[in-house]
Structure 1
Amino acid sequence: MTTQHQHLVYGHATAHDCFAFADAGTATEEAAEIRALAAARTWGEARQVRMTHLSHPAGPDCYEPEDGYADDKPFDITEVGAVKDGTWPRMVTERAFTLLPQDLQDRYGKRQVTVHSGDYLEIPLAGEAELLAELRRRGYEVTRDDELINLLDGFSLGKLAS
């Protein structure tokens, strides 16, 4: 058994009705990027949002001003192609595959396959106490933050923009 010294944030991912995990070291910065993009009022503002942790679904390599996305044209994050088709941001529930030890994935979760967005680890809400105890025993620091997890999952992006 390997001992880790990693800080994870976890929460109830509403879209999949299960737990999801994220790296606490980058989660708040990723959330700030999502909030900044959602707050953009024009395509020009959206293009200016700096993304260091996430891909930029409204960046200049995706939407060119000369293709009808002029800098002064109103921006709505829910109308961005990657957001509409559910590929941005990536499902927060898939992060458990890289963050949790394989034996805990096998014991507490179940791989679920989606047609368009790839696989995710479904971790039932009922196993919370046991999974957290095991993670902490292995040296993980674990903090619950449902709001952060759902923001990272892109849940309710339209509400952020209004």
Structure 2
Amino acid sequence: MTTQHQHLVYGHATAHDCLAFADAGTATEEAAEIRALAAARTWGEARQVRMTHLWNPAGPDYHDPEDGYADDKPFDVTGVGAVADGRWPRMVTERAFTVLPQDLQDRYGKRQVTVHDGDYLEIPVAGEGELVAELRERGYEVTRDDALINQLGGSRLGSLAS
């Protein structure tokens, strides 16, 4: 058994009604990027949102001003194709595949396949205590933050604009 020195944030992901885990080192900054895009009032503002951890689905590579997305045109993040299709931000429940040890994924989770969005790891809330205890035994720092987890998954994205 290897010892980790990683800080994870986790919480109840309401979209899939299960636990989700993310790297705490970048989670807050990623959530800030999601909120910044959601807060943009025009397409020009949306295009200017700088993304360090995520890609900008309203960026000039995806929505050219000459195609009806003028800088002064009102912006609604929920109307962006990648957001409406569920491709941005990516499912927070898929992150467990990269942040949790494989043996714990196998023991506590079940791979779920979606038609359009890829796979995610369904970790029942009932296993929270045991899973968190095992992670801590292995040297992980684990913090629960339901609001942050759901922001990372794009939950209530339209309401972040207000």
Q: TM-score, normalised by structure 1?
A: 0.99
Amino acid at match of 1:40: A
Structure 1 spans left out of the alignment, 5+ residues: none
What is the total number of aligned residue pairs between the two structures? 162
Task: Give secondary structure in 2 for the equivalent of 1:11.
Answer: strand
* Residue 143 (1) aligns with residue 151 (2): no
Between the aligned partners of 2:52 and 2:145, the Cα distance in structure 1 is 22
Identity, in percent, stands at 86
Q: Which amino acid aligns with 1:25?
A: G
Task: State the 1:161 CA deviation.
Answer: 1.8
2:69 matched residue in structure 1: 69
Q: Which residue of 1 aligns with 2:47?
A: 47
Q: Gaps spanning 5+ residues in structure 2: where? A: none
Aligned counterpart, 2:160: 160
Which residue of 2 is the match for residue 29 of structure 1? Answer: 29
CA offsets 1:43-89 (integer angstroms, 9 cap, x no match): 00000000010011000000000000000000000000000000100
The secondary structure found in structure 2 opposite 1:131 is helix
RMSD: 0.4
Report what 1:132 is aligned to.
Answer: 132
Aligned partner of 2:57 in structure 1 is 57
1:69-123 per-residue CA deviation (whole Å, 9 max, x = no partner) reads 0000000000000000001000000000010000000000000000000000000
Spell out the pairing of 1:99-118 with structure 2 (5 A cutoff).
99-118=99-118
State how far apart, in whole Å, the 2-side matches of 1:159 and 1:84 are.
Answer: 14
Instruction: Quote the Cα distance in structure 1 between the aligned partners of 2:121 and 2:2.
Output: 21
TM-score (norm 2): 0.99
